[in-house]
Chains A and B, each alone.
Chain A
Amino acid sequence: MLRLVAARLGLGIVSLLLVSLAIFAITSLLPGDAAEELLGQYATRETVAGLRAQLGLDLPGHVRYLHWLGGLITGDFGRSLANGVPVAQLIGSRLPNSLMLAAATAAVSVPLALTIGITAAMWRGGAYDRAVSMLTLSVVSVPEFLVATAAVIVFAVHLRWLSALSAATDITSVAQFFRVFALPVFSLCCVIIAQMVRMTRAAIIDQLRAPYVEMAVLKGVGPFRVVLRHALPNAIGPIANAVALSLSYLLGGVIIVETIFNYPGIAKLMVDGVATRDLPVVQACAMIFCAAYLVLVTTADVVAILANPRLRHR
């Protein structure tokens, strides 16, 4: 089993390397380069050549890639083209905000989603289950910004409970913390919970089709006990998988939510970087997001391996 886990971790690292290659290739394929872009159309050929040499753009592609990769590993992400600030510094000031948002969302959504998913599986086919299925299907098939804008209209415009804009700075009290985080976290949770409920429910119902459950039912075990004592322990692997995969939807959701609420996180930094075509910022942010995504997906697989009793004694 250890070998399986090690192999999966190795695969994760290889994937990350391939992803970094893909991101570097895409961002380096463009015809004009950063030097021309920075200097504008009145630049002479000499100044462009000078800047290219300074930025290292005159080196061949694979050398630049290795140089960039080396920088990533040692924490040197280059400098922003827009304002010359080191990218590491920009990210360093934004990353804690995004992590706080993600942590708050995970803390709220995981227990809630598991409860809803498990109870829906318990009363499967009933009115509650159908309502949950319909609601979660609706949430996963509408754009994230609809959920967020609807939340603003309901809670900030009509009910006037919360303010629509958030700033993670100057939080002094718990009430303030709640006011700032409530709407972004709520919007993110809607999307994540819907995904997680669907996957959790599917994982348990999948187990309920197994012969051992039929045996338990024939023995006269009640429906709750069948789900909680028989199906649930066997569904832990798939459910942990569902949790990790659903949390990876955070990455997509956080981009929209940080933009709507003007939240000073790393996703907002990346979107602004894309708008101004600040490639070093985009590359670094993309690598952080892809790494986070791969960590979640790899964790999901490792948990699935660990939770599978058939693999435990190898």
Chain B
Amino acid sequence: MTGILRRLSIGGIVGLVILGFWVAMAVFGPAVAPHEAGAIVDMDVFLPVSAEYPFGTDYLGRDMFSRVLHGARYTVGVALVAALIASGSGLLLGMCAAVWGGLVDGFISRALDTLISIPSKMFALVVVAAFGSSVPVLILMAGIIYTPGAYRIARSLAVTVNAQDFVTVARARGEGTLYLVREEVLPNIIGPVLADFGLRFVYIVLLLAGMSFLGLGVQPPNADWGSLVRENMAGLHEGAPAVLMPAFAIASLTIGVNLAIDVLSGGRRAGEAG
């Protein structure tokens, strides 16, 4: 723990604070928001930023600040669950492939390679066209799309560890697969895997925000931040804060996570080798 504290840079602290704030809002957002998500608080639509309405009002005269807080659980919560699915299954498959090797490794790798040759947005659009858009579909879809990437990272890390002497020793003294994975491989790859998890989370936030922006993500009356941008697009030509604020919320979240990833050793940032 002290090791992590010592590595904290200003950027890392800012990132962790932003991330902590939005995760807290995903849980407590509806409780602390000044207004109900659907409450029309003012007859004037697209009001500018004011003390009463810190993010202005939306196209129906609802308080944007409250709507962003209510939306946090759809943006942060949904993406968090999806990222857990992606990183969890990627890690599990990657470690199995590394420890078992041979045919299992070949089969899993080829199957997931096919998935990688479909661009993520394309996959998402096709899935939504086939199954419609609901929160479980979105979670599962995003989880599947980002499994191959998590798998590649976890597998290459696990293969390196698997070739180390201490694993050979453990195997020679007759330890089972479960022991090897849990006691020998996992503790040695968890740092980079956590950094990768942060990256998956960012990708999923951006993907789902994009889908909602197209009207193909979270459906009304619920709204994540992408939907909030979409429904207020009419205010774009007046430069209303209702359009920009939810988009800034997404940007603060993704940049915050990127800064926080740097705290973890072996951190990679978004955009470096996809």
List, in ascending order, chain A residues with CB within 8 A of B122's CB.
Answer: 251, 286, 289-290, 293
- Bound complex: CA A26 to CA B239 (Å): 40
B117 interface residue (CB < 8 Å to A) = yes
B52 interface residue (CB < 8 Å to A) = no
Q: Is the CB of A143 within 8 A of B239?
A: no
Q: Is the CB of A290 within 8 A of B118?
A: yes
Q: When each residue 245-288 of chain A gets 1 if its CB lies under 8 Å from chain B and 0 otherwise, what string results?
A: 10010011001100110000000001101110111001100100
B115, B210, B239, B254: the one contacting A144 at CB < 8 Å is: B210
B126, B209, B233, B239: the one contacting A23 at CB < 8 Å is: B126
Q: Number of contacts between A and B (CB, 8 Å)?
A: 154
Give the secondary structure class of A's interface.
helix
B165 interface residue (CB < 8 Å to A) = no
Q: Which of A14-22, A45-53, A95-103, A171-179 contacts B (4 or more CB under 8 A)?
A: A14-22
B244 interface residue (CB < 8 Å to A) = yes
Q: Is the CB of A156 within 8 A of B237?
A: yes
Q: When each residue 107-137 of chain B gets 1 if its CB lies under 8 Å from chain A and 0 otherwise, what string results?
A: 0000001110111111001111111100000
Q: Is the CB of A271 within 8 A of B130?
A: no
A26, A143, A199, A294: the one contacting B126 at CB < 8 Å is: A26
- Bound complex: CA A225 to CA B202 (Å): 38
List, in ascending order, chain A residues with CB within 8 A of B206's CB.
Answer: 141-143
- Bound complex: CA A194 to CA B271 (Å): 9
Closest to A12 in B: B117
Q: Which of A55-63, A71-79, A117-125, A146-154 contacts B (4 or more CB under 8 A)?
A: A146-154
Q: Which of B83-91, B152-160, B245-253 contacts A (4 or more CB under 8 A)?
A: B245-253
Known A-B contacts A252-B121, A255-B121, A293-B117; the reply to A149 vs B130 at CB < 8 A is no
- Interface positions, chain B 212-259, Cβ under 8 Å from A, are 213-216, 226, 229, 233, 236-239, 243-244, 247-248, 250-251, 254-255, 258
Enumerate 22 A-B pairs (CB-CB under 8 Å) in ascending A order.
Answer: A19-B117, A22-B114, A22-B115, A23-B118, A26-B126, A26-B130, A141-B202, A142-B254, A143-B209, A145-B210, A145-B226, A146-B248, A152-B236, A164-B236, A271-B216, A277-B129, A277-B132, A282-B129, A283-B126, A293-B118, A293-B122, A294-B117
